[in-house]
Structure 1
């Protein structure tokens, strides 16, 4: 069975995923294709580092909390940024997500080219979030993890990506799904204490 393209969706860690890099993480999938694999950023892991300390000049444009986020264990020295323009025209230094399906899923969300001077692009953005590192899976790797029960694939909203309360994002995303997933949202952090 062919896996659907996940660009523009969320990967939400199931309670059985205990890898410390991904435990209770919510990953926004930036790109997913059959030739390169899957790339995403963890959207619920704020760091205690102000955006301006890492991405000079971008601090004033960042959504609250105005800190860098740990996007994942790959390329921790690399910066990735997501943003949404204020207006419909495409500003210089911003590009929409690759697939049309993803653009329909989360309208207006795209990549920010951090080489663009913030004074040129910053005011054209309505929302901005910076990530240190990213997540990545080779072709077929993520599909196998999903089949093993490590991830839920769920719809994303821009409010998930730019949440001002990232610490509670994991249970909130699960709760809004209703049914069994709403019940999973109450799963204790440490089931041995239950």
Structure 2
């Protein structure tokens, strides 16, 4: 049985109505009794990194909608701890955070390949007991994951693929319509 902990995926139930989280997958980065947070990994933001951070000289690096909290902040996860010191390993080979100036320098110099880092605007956060209550109410399906799925460039397929990875019972949910009353 999967339990709440850093590195776990929170897969939105197919009928979750919250517009911030409908058909999303959240990578949980920190889980504590006093509160938790993570990033939506499958919802592309409408601006690139160079639009948000002018110091980044490379265009077209995607940014994802991390969640509705602090939409004026940029966060990142990565697979390059040797280039980006200060990150916290949340899965084998997957790190959250680190020195942002190292990320910018490594991108601009070509040392860091854009597919080894994923950027988010804002984050998803829960207060004490809130996430546990949402899991109990079946708003979220918990799953193990790996860096390959988290960095899948086909972000629009991550929600369906996450459900399919859980087996046939959940795979059927991947094809549920957003609004069953329209069928």
The TM-score bracket by the shorter chain reads: 0.7 to 0.9
RMSD of aligned Cα (Å) = 2.3
Gaps of 5+ in 2: none
Please list the CA deviations of residues 160-191 of structure 1 after superposition, one character each: whole Å capped at 9, or x if unmatched: 22221111211111012112101111111221
Equivalent residue of 2:102, what SS?
A: coil
Query: By how many angstroms is 1:151 displaced?
Result: 0.2
Equivalent residue of 2:116, what SS?
A: strand
Q: TM-score, normalised on structure 2?
A: 0.86
Provide the rounded CA distance (Å) in 1 between the counterparts of 2:61 and 2:146. Answer: 19
Task: Give the conservation status (yes or no) of the 8 Å contact 1:51–1:59.
Answer: no
Write out aligned runs for 1:32-181 (5 A): 32-34=31-33, 36-58=34-56, 60=58, 66-85=61-80, 90-97=82-89, 102=90, 106-110=91-95, 111-116=97-102, 118-120=104-106, 123-124=111-112, 127-181=116-170
Higher mean alpha-carbon deviation, 156-165 vs 113-122, is at 113-122
Aligned residue pairs, count: 178
Provide the rounded CA distance (Å) in 2 between the counterparts of 1:159 and 1:58. Answer: 25
Q: TM-score, normalised on structure 1?
A: 0.82
Provide the rounded CA distance (Å) in 2 between the counterparts of 1:155 and 1:82. Answer: 17
Provide the rounded CA distance (Å) in 2 between the counterparts of 1:149 and 1:177. Answer: 16
Q: Tell me which residue corresponds to 1:28.
A: 27
Gaps of 5+ in 1: none
